[in-house]
Structure 1
């Protein structure tokens, strides 16, 4: 009779686990709790706080609106405004020049009419009429009789030629020829009647 060798069966103890169908003992404080162990008692674990809202300097998750079209519109508006300003200023300047030219022509006619009327009255011997064509300042400083005595003592003007009325000095140059054959270059200084606004001769001399 053959005797089989005796194999010792290990005893349960430290480092020895029972078969898979048995539950290993759990010692307090050692190893993870088994899956079937009840949940540990205690206060609930708080959830993580929500993330703070984005502050200044944080870019939004969507792109910024396009600005290319806005720049073009601004440039177009500036160009239109500049064109309008130039048009208005140009039209206003042209209007001012037109008024100045028209006024210059009107002044020339009025000045020549005043001087020629005065000289014609002196040439024709109508001294009272010539005195009435003098400006108020001259009449206040000289009586009709004194005026007659002065002009009759001077050579009479037979013919004359008038130049361009000067708006700065308010005078008209006159090239006069006297009845004795002499000639002279005179200046007729003008004024404006305070009542009628008509041009008047204030002084005639060299």
Structure 2
């Protein structure tokens, strides 16, 4: 298993977790706002010291929630900056470039991930992508932690390719000039999540599944 591939997957997993945390913080902030409005309506004009203390605590809590969201944004920016620096975002990241004050110019060559083409990833059995499956599988299968990362991989490795009209293929299929195909399959017999299919003209192939379980543990 590639140490760099694991780091990249963990970074994406962390970004996804941060986004969920921010969503929960936003919900908490809305509740605090409702509480503050209710307290003001109930005790408006009251000189009771206890009431004043309660209102003050509510306001402090709201400030702390806002500061926490800002800190999480800073962590996300740092992670996106790191991924971009090693060419692992796979495509221009508007969020990363905007937050860092950079122009939307990526050093990542179109059609590559970690500076390798789709065919090159097939040749080394996807060793730089995610991890080997935690449940025994064929050696052409890899796993990533989140759907966001799978989408990121597809956008990266299909960049510059042309759409392929393949009747019955449940998703998007793209073909590069070297006849390597990159497909984003929305349905799979073995998983409820999307799957990435990469095949070369020479008959090589890898499949990339999503599995967020036990991440960080070696297979």
Shared fold (TM-score, shorter chain, > 0.5):
no
Using the size of structure 2 for normalisation, the TM-score is: 0.23
Using the size of structure 1 for normalisation, the TM-score is: 0.25
Give the number of the structure whose alpha-carbon radius of gyration is greater: 1
